[in-house]
Structure 1
Amino acid sequence: MTSFQNKTVPAFGYDLIRDYLLPTILGKHEKEVLYWAGKDLARKFPCTDTQLIISFFQDAGWGFLTLDKEEKDGCIFHLTNDIDLLNIEERSFRLEAGFIAQQIQGIKGCLTECHDEKREKQHQVIFTVKWDKKETIE
């Protein structure tokens, strides 16, 4: 991961790919494909704790992720970023949700899912993560 830390991508180029090109290519399957792509990214860039997940989000330019609450079977993250980024009504945050789900699944060792909820007025995205300790992953 360190080889990517000093490279930057202009926001305009990122937005073109993320908000216009990917939806065109993926069509009606965009959300599902992005979720599984996020899980695949997490397997390629594993994080051993939540602080590393938070750092990855900043390094990737995805925004500022914070762990808001953790319970016995789940947790809640908040994502904030530039107002322009979170005001895009069509943007899907399933890539980030899949990434978080896979990372937490690796950390907890049990089946994990993540759902995203965009809160435009607060300029944030809420990620609700749930895991099932009965469904262990080896």
Structure 2
Amino acid sequence: MEQEATPHVQGITLLRDQLLPKLLKEDEESILYWAGKELARSYDFSSVEDILQTMEEVSFGTVEMVEKKRSSYRFHLFGSVVTSRLNGNKNATFDLETGFLAQAVQQVSQVYSEGTYRLIKKGSRIEILIQTDRKESLTE
């Protein structure tokens, strides 16, 4: 179920794309990435499907897993929230979402995970790549 650009989402977008860049300046990307990881720690994820549902519920957009390999996951983030943010701000960042997704995958896989993203202009999609390091297991 894709989120519409409700006043709630518009308010979040205003904060994300107008206020935070001014406050955080050159540290915006790294702070938002680690903030996303911290936010994800407040959830108990049991599966990738659980992660995808939660990301939609918190108005990050619609997320689909497009590829899973031994040491990586590839996701697409899209929908009205993403399109609206990209249309309103050509410099919109998706580090918060990437950090959130990286930490959530880490919780489910129990191995250290980091993420990066890139814009796919066709279709207004964000591709998020989560790399996992099986040598850095979080279980004992």
TM-score norm. by structure 1 comes to 0.88
Contact 2:17 2:85 in 1 (8 A): no
1:46 corresponding residue in structure 2:
44
1:35 corresponding residue in structure 2:
33
Structure 2, gaps ≥5 residues long? 1-5
The amino acid across from 2:63 in the alignment is L
Q: Following the alignment from structure 2 to structure 1, what is the Cα–Cα distance between the partners of residues 10 and 74?
A: 29
Once the two structures are superposed, the pairs formed by residues 4-83 of structure 1 within 5 Å of their partners are 10-82=8-80, 83=83
TM-score norm. by structure 2 comes to 0.87
RMSD: 1.4
Contact 1:86 1:124 in 2 (8 A): no
Structure 1, gaps ≥5 residues long? 1-7
Residue 10 of structure 1: SS of its match in structure 2? helix
- Equivalent pairs: percent with the same residue? 30
Q: CA deviation at 1:119?
A: 1.5
The amino acid across from 1:29 in the alignment is D
Contact 1:66 1:79 in 2 (8 A): yes
The amino acid across from 2:113 in the alignment is T
Give the ranges of 4+ consecutive aligned residues of structure 1 lying more than 2 Å apart after TM superposition: 8-12, 83-88
Residues 17-73 of structure 1 deviation map (CA, whole Å, 9 limit, x = unaligned):
010111111111000000000000010123121111111111111111001110111
